[in-house]
A and B are shown apart, each in its own frame.
Chain A
Amino acid sequence: MIVKTDVLIIGAGGAGARAAIEASKNEKLRILLLNQGPLGRSGLTSMANGGMQWVSHPEDSFEDHFRDVVRIGCYLNEQNLVECLAREAPERAEELIAWGAKVFMEGGRLFFTDPRGSGASHPRGHYIPGVTYMAALKGELERHENIFIREDSLATCLFADEGRVIGASVLDIRTGEVFAVQSKAVVLAAGGLGELFPHSSNTPFGLRGHASGMGYALAYHAGAELIDMEMVQFTGQQLYPPWLLGNPALLSIMCGGEYRNALGKEYMRLPQPRDVIQRLAHREIKEGRGTPRGGVYIDLSVSPLPSAEIERQLQKALGGDIARERWNLIKAMSVDDPDPKHWKVEFTPGGAHFFMGGVRINERCETNLYGLFAAGEVAGGVHGANRMGGNALTDIVVFGRRAGKYAAEYASRAEWIAPDQGLVRQENERLHGFFRPDGVSGRAVRDRIGSFMAEYMGVARTEDEMKKALSEIASLKAELPRLRAPGGKRFNLGWVEAIEVPHMLDVAEMMTLSALSRRESRGAHFREDFPDTDPRWLKHTRVRKAGTAMQVDTAPVTITTLNPGG
């Protein structure tokens, strides 16, 4: 079966949904939007805690927003992209609110989150819980009749023809059918890769968050260039109380807690960039000052706030009113002492939170392949070496809109090219080849990817350890021919895992090779063997497929107005 569409969008999180809305403004075009789970109830946008930055404070300006993002990104940002981000953010936010997203207000005005949480120079962080953000986009999607949505549909490969992407192979998870999509333009908005790490804010309670990193591998195999694949942003992963999710840095700022190690000594004071918070916690644990659970903690007993206020702030960090049930659960089930002032909020560093690298795009969201556009976390270059808090929700709508606009423009003057039938059949056979009587499950391989990524590609990296990661990757690749999916074809998540795992290994390899090649420390990429930032390394690492080999080199950074040190 071949489905024909004008614009195919892979991923219906914030970026994909916004791209679809924009592309659908050309009413002659048919837009097909794929999502791995139910629309608006899966993926990372709907689990976003809600910080979103746009310039609205009277003292703030686009220039300040731009400068903050580039400084925190350690100058590795594509500055042309950051300019788009800062300038278009207010318009995109107003639009979301008009579509029904719930922004937090206080005393009749927009509520600002504490700028110390993100390192912004002015109050700029607003709060739109991810689930209402996504619901607003979903409502808008339903108002456009030329958008066709397929839930539970996974793109398994892109079809390319002489440097142009012409379609994709798609698995309908519900029925187990595989079909080909032929499209004039393809927008990749498949999200991040938190699932490569065992601890991740993308996978609460060890359940999936639809962040397997498939999008990077799809682009790579089609021939796209990827940049900065070493740049993983880590945050603290809560160890105790269980189920208390949220960014420890925010908790500490809002509640006035202190960062302490197992000896009870305060080892750090905020504000600090996210990468520094991670490294300092990592050092405490590595040097033997970690708690028995393997973390450090935030001591709330020193807080100047009364218990009731701490409780209010913690609940707010969980998402306010709509998370009241979870808050009650935390209090009822997991904590011996109901007074939060007596809590030690323990966390461990190295929870994968966000990925700054990805498919290389220009300000029109074009990649190096004709017909392929990318937006959101799967695209790289916007955030440089470190993402400032509250800019992911901004990024996805700003670049989602751009990708939709330029993909529609491209599609309106392009022709369909039928994918080679041999390739379509080959992909179909590959997918069905996982049903074999015995072998290794996708889950088993996935768990092993997680353990070596955490051990060798975490907060602090060395050449020796990363080489160990490469040999783990090689030995796991040798097992791929034995990958096995259990049971039947219908809603078989074991099959989905078997499909994802080879791609995840490719992504792990891209990350490790990129991290090995960057012989300096910059932002989220910290090398114990090269602890300093080297001005000669103000360039992107770049990964491409050359024949069957993975080729890593460098590419220049686009600088428009802000030079390092400026």
Chain B
Amino acid sequence: MGAYVRLKIFRYDPSCDLAPAYATYEVPWTGGLLLLQAIKYVRDNLDETLAFRDYCCGCSWCFSCLMMVDGKGTRTCSRPLKAGESLLVEPMRGFPVIKDLAVDFGLMITTPEGTFRKMEGTMVRKEKAKGTGVA
């Protein structure tokens, strides 16, 4: 029996669901598994209707994989998983949900602390900033 990680994932289709719900999935763990890969595993093998932005720049640059993980804004492409871990995965807070984990980032995105400072000027147009950003 191999190791698993357990993901409790936010599910919501605003066009037909009355309210959001959560579904739990178990993903086989292998060394070096990243959270975004585990979410892709769920979509490919467990529930093909799960929506998320499956694009990846591969360098923690683009932030299109930003989600709330256990209540904290996280780039899921850079979040390694430990064997046996249980995580709550929700769409990024402060942006309208399109479906499940996919949100509308609009024309700006708030980046986590630290990175924000470095990218100021090119990445973030502060005068247009809106949304609650990262906890």
Contact = CB atoms under 8 A, between A and B. Distances in A.
Given A174-B104, A209-B55, A41 B63 contact: yes
Interface string B61-73: 1111000000000
Interface residues of A, number: 58
Given A101-B122, A205-B77, A326 B107 contact: no
Contacts of B107: 39, 138, 142, 149
A205 B58 contact: yes
Contacts of B37: 205-207
A376 B3 CA distance: 45
Nearest to A210: B55
B80 A488 contact: no
A322 B49 contact: no
Given A205-B34, A333-B32, A443-B44, A491 B51 contact: yes
Contact of A493 (B14, B54, B60, B118): B54
Q: Interface centre among B13, B34, B99, by most A CB within 10 Å?
A: B99
A273 interface: no
Interface string A491-523: 111100000000000000000000000000000
A349 interface: no
A322 B56 contact: no
Interface string A318-342: 1101110110010011100000000
B58 A47 contact: yes
A100 interface: yes
A102 B122 contact: yes
Nearest to A489: B15
B62 A47 contact: yes
Contacts of B99: 490-491
Contacts of B87: none
A246 to B, nearest CB: 9
Contacts of A102: 122
Given A243-B32, A329-B78, A333-B80, A488 B13 contact: yes
A42 B49 contact: no
A135 interface: yes
Contacts of B15: 175, 488-490
B102 interface: yes
Contacts of A142: 107, 125
A441 B48 contact: yes
A2 B27 CA distance: 44
B119 A41 contact: no
Contacts of A243: 32, 34
A245 interface: yes
Interface in A48-72: 49
Contacts of B125: 139, 142
Contacts of A151: 104
A37 interface: yes
Contacts of A334: 31-32
A231 interface: no
A202 to B, nearest CB: 9
A486 interface: yes
Contacts of B98: 152, 174, 490-491
Contact of B49 (A39, A132, A207, A488): A488
Interface of A: 37-39, 41-42, 46-47, 49, 100-102, 129-132, 135-136, 138-139, 142, 149, 151-152, 174-175, 203-210, 242-243, 245, 318-319, 321-323, 325-326, 329, 332-334, 441, 443, 486-494
22 contacts: A38-B53, A46-B57, A49-B59, A131-B61, A132-B119, A132-B122, A135-B122, A142-B125, A149-B107, A204-B57, A204-B59, A205-B58, A207-B55, A208-B54, A210-B55, A323-B61, A325-B60, A332-B80, A334-B31, A491-B100, A491-B102, A492-B49
* Interchain residue pairs A-B with the least CB separation, the first 9: A204-B58, A487-B49, A207-B56, A47-B57, A491-B99, A486-B48, A131-B61, A491-B51, A41-B64
